[in-house]
Amino acid sequence: MSDPVTTIQPHEHALVITIDKRSLDGPSTEQLVEDVLTAAAARTGVPVVLDMSRVRFAPSVALGQLVQLSKSFRLDGRRIALIGIDRKIYDTIRVTQLHTVLELHDTLEQALASPGKRG
């Protein structure tokens, strides 16, 4: 059995999911999406916050899956925010203009205080 990809962190006002992998390869990304969808279905009515502080590499496939999750959640009237993003990953997100789609914050507190992305 492989190492877990995510850990659910208890929080009253959000579903906080920490990504435990340093690199989001194909299988890790698939498991991440499954973990997020399962956890979000079990805890509705609160924003989902993905803590990416341990992730050091996220290829285009992983970033594409995060965009798909974001769009899917938005269509369902929910929020998903990413926090603790590594500088290199953040730079890639900016260069590829994905910051216009993804909700990005430095900390959990900032994510919870934000109204979120619209549209």
In the chain, the largest separation of any two C-alpha atoms, in whole Å, equals: 40
**pLDDT number for residue 1:** 47
DSSP H/E element including 36: helix 26-42
Distance (Å, rounded) from C-alpha 111 to C-alpha 60?
24
- Sign, CA torsion 21/115/103/110: negative
User: What domains sit in the chain, N to C, each tagged with a CATH number?
Assistant: 6-113 (3.30.750.24)
**pLDDT number for residue 23:** 96
Distance (Å, rounded) from C-alpha 25 to C-alpha 89?
14
The pTM (predicted TM-score) of the whole model is: 0.92
pLDDT per residue as tens, the chain (119 positions): 468 899 999 899 999 999 999 999 999 999 999 999 999 999 999 999 999 999 999 999 999 999 999 999 999 999 999 999 999 999 999 999 999 999 999 999 999 999 877 55
E strand spans, 46-86: 48-51, 80-83
The neighbouring-strand residues paired with 103 are 81
